[in-house]
Amino acid sequence: MTVPGNRSAPRSARVLIIGTGFAGIGMAIRLRERGITDVVILERAADLGGTWRDNRYPGCACDVESTLYSFSFAPNPGWTRTFSPQPEIQAYLRRVADDHGITPLIRFNDAVDGARWDEPAQEWVVTSTSGLWRAQHLVMANGALSDPSVPPLPGLDQFTGASFHTAQWDAEVPLDGRRVAVIGTGASAIQVIPAIQPRVARLIVLQRTPAWVLPRHDRAVPAWRRALYARVPFTQRIARGALHAWHEMMFLPFRHPLPRRLVQAAVGWHLAAQVRDPQLRRALRPTYGVGCKRLLLSDDYYPALVRPNVEVVTSAVERIGAHAITTADGRTHGIDVLILATGFRVTDPILAPTIIGRNGRSLADAWQGSPKAYMGTTVAGFPNLFMLAGPNTGLGHSSVVLMAEAQIEHVLGVLALAESRHVRAVEPRADAQARYVAWIDASHATTVWNAGGCRSWYLDRTGRNSTLWPFGVDRFRRLAARVAADDYLTA
Ligand code: NAP
């Protein structure tokens, strides 16, 4: 971390939060409810919303039902669709932040570069665009899906047309009547492809690995139901409970082969029903176990791929030229616009090298390419540091908002523990963290994510699954809610 010398004196906060996605906003709300009001949130962008602010590509929507993909304490009877589109989700977050008095705590356009634990002062010194901050507690709520991953494709810098990542969508670039290529066939691609297909002259879909796709059954929420949820909020709570129970059950196929076979049959049927051409069907059929890569939901992805202006290219991208992509089969595809739906840097977070804990050790040093944390939230050697959406808190089957809320309760529990012991610093014991991580790893061994025969972004460069929680959400909630005092060191 470089500490600029000509900045003003550090400002301070008891808790400094990085990021204004669901996790950061939720953390600030719960801290204030607990009477901790000296809170500052640093946001690198000019608006709040995290990944729901950045991802504005056509078709961007949640693939978990909105009634579940929202805060438990802030139900929204007004969702217009089962799976709400991005603008509605961001508007929801803005409203929740306003209603709970969080917006004034946010310092916009203030990006954190790094932070160093100041041992004598027992607090964090944080460097950001605006200068220095001192904070007793630092909450990293900067998200797992926040930094785009752009593969080093040969010739990418020589492309003279418009090119952008799905998370950095350039709405100024006209697509109508143009030749467009999309690289990637993950969750973002399968939303953007059907949204732009009717507008473009030609759409080349460059698929490296096909995805398993289930129907989404997205529909408008009828006005009567919205009115019912608004007037009798209990009814929406029942709906949320039912969705939660359904998603908890959806976890089973990821662990057990028998229910997985049922899902496998459903995805196979969905593909067969929507794609008649046997050659295309073969190209779209994955060879790995269903769920190994994120199981995708879409009603309109396959129908878009069979349109005459679309071609699915399975040959690898070899080179990008000024106006074209050349693939390994020797073909050259002329294009005007290149869309990179190539995902995010999940297991090598950009802040890891610049968060420096005890003894000058960075998170990157501690992790060696494989992020690890106690309860996915705290890290040995990094006192008073909390990570939301941290290692092994991702889900393949339900709403991550539920996980963020459970982590937030864990943070509050740890802060209460430190307070009850009248100490300024708290961190997990190294042996407790090691035990926890070993248990997570053992629990992953037989899941389809680890043993399903694919290479996904769930696995880090050491091959370890450092991304997903290996059980249902309720189990994490129960564990995180109870802070095991013996597992924490206080000073
Ligand atoms: P992703 O799932 O990581 O997909 C990236 C795609 O790019 C993959 O198909 C990948 O192929 C391909 N790719 C990467 N590098 C490539 C290269 N060098 N050459 C060719 N292809 C390449 O990213 P994403 O679609 O942005 O989704 C990321 C996550 O965001 C999702 O899993 C989900 O958790 C979240 N998301 C959620 C929603 C929602 O509705 N809630 C929507 C969008 C995204 P390989 O598979 O071969 O690596």
Atom of ligand 1 nearest to the CA of 189: 25
pLDDT at 1: 40
HSE at residue 43, side-chain half, CA atoms within 13 A, is: 23
- Rounded Cα–Cα distance for residues 187 and 50 (Å): 17
Measured in angstroms, how far is the CA atom of residue 369 from the centroid of ligand 1?
Answer: 20
For ligand 1, say whether the CB of 457 is within 6 Å of any of its atoms.
yes
For ligand 1, say whether the CB of 189 is within 6 Å of any of its atoms.
yes
- Rounded Cα–Cα distance for residues 165 and 55 (Å): 10
Report DSSP letters for 180-219, one per residue: EEEE--SHHHHHHHHHHTTT-SEEEEE-SS---EE-----
pLDDT at 2: 37
Measured in angstroms, how far is the CA atom of residue 341 from the centroid of ligand 1?
Answer: 6
Q: Are strands 310-313 and 202-206 parallel, antiparallel or unpaired?
A: parallel
Task: For Cα atoms 323, 327, 329, give the angle at the middle one, nearest 5 degrees.
Answer: 140
For ligand 1, say whether the CB of 186 is within 6 Å of any of its atoms.
yes
pLDDT at 5: 38
Among 63, 69, 188, 295, say which to mutate for ligand 1: greatest number of ligand atoms within 8 Å of CB: 188
How do the pLDDT tens digits run along the chain, 491 residues long? Answer: 433 334 567 799 999 999 999 999 999 999 999 999 999 999 999 999 999 999 999 999 999 999 999 999 999 999 999 999 999 999 999 999 999 999 999 999 999 999 999 999 999 999 999 999 999 999 999 998 888 999 999 999 999 999 999 999 999 999 999 999 999 999 999 999 999 999 999 999 999 999 999 999 999 999 999 999 999 999 999 999 999 999 999 999 999 999 999 999 999 999 999 999 999 999 999 999 999 999 999 999 999 999 999 999 999 999 999 999 999 999 999 999 999 999 998 888 899 999 999 999 999 999 999 999 999 999 999 999 999 999 999 998 999 999 999 999 999 999 999 999 999 999 999 999 999 999 999 999 999 999 999 999 999 999 999 999 999 999 999 999 999 999 999 88
HSE at residue 158, side-chain half, CA atoms within 13 A, is: 11
* Amino acid at position 351, single letter: L
Q: Which residue's alpha carbon is at the smallest distance from atom 15 of ligand 1?
A: 342
Closest CA to 294 of 412, 408, 410, 458: 458
pLDDT at 8: 61
End-to-end distance of the chain based on CA atoms, in angstroms?
25
Whether the CB-CB separation of 346 and 467 falls below 8 Å is answered with: yes
Q: Which SS3 state, helix, strand or coil, does residue 136 take?
A: strand
For ligand 1, say whether the CB of 317 is within 6 Å of any of its atoms.
yes
pLDDT at 273: 96
For ligand 1, say whether the CB of 319 is within 6 Å of any of its atoms.
no
List for the chain the helix, strand, coil content (%; round to 5): 35, 20, 45
Measured in angstroms, how far is the CA atom of residue 487 from the centroid of ligand 1?
Answer: 36
As beta bridge partners, residue 349 has: none
What are the structural domains, with CATH classification, of the chain?
A: 11-147+345-490 (3.50.50.60), 156-211+250-340 (3.50.50.60)
For ligand 1, say whether the CB of 51 is within 6 Å of any of its atoms.
no
Measured in angstroms, how far is the CA atom of residue 90 from the centroid of ligand 1?
Answer: 21
For ligand 1, say whether the CB of 84 is within 6 Å of any of its atoms.
no
Q: Which SS3 state, helix, strand or coil, does residue 65 take?
A: coil
Measured in angstroms, how far is the CA atom of residue 57 from the centroid of ligand 1?
Answer: 14
Measured in angstroms, how far is the CA atom of residue 165 from the centroid of ligand 1?
Answer: 11
Name the pTM for this structure.
0.95
pLDDT at 409: 98
For ligand 1, say whether the CB of 343 is within 6 Å of any of its atoms.
yes
Q: Are strands 213-214 and 112-118 parallel, antiparallel or unpaired?
A: unpaired
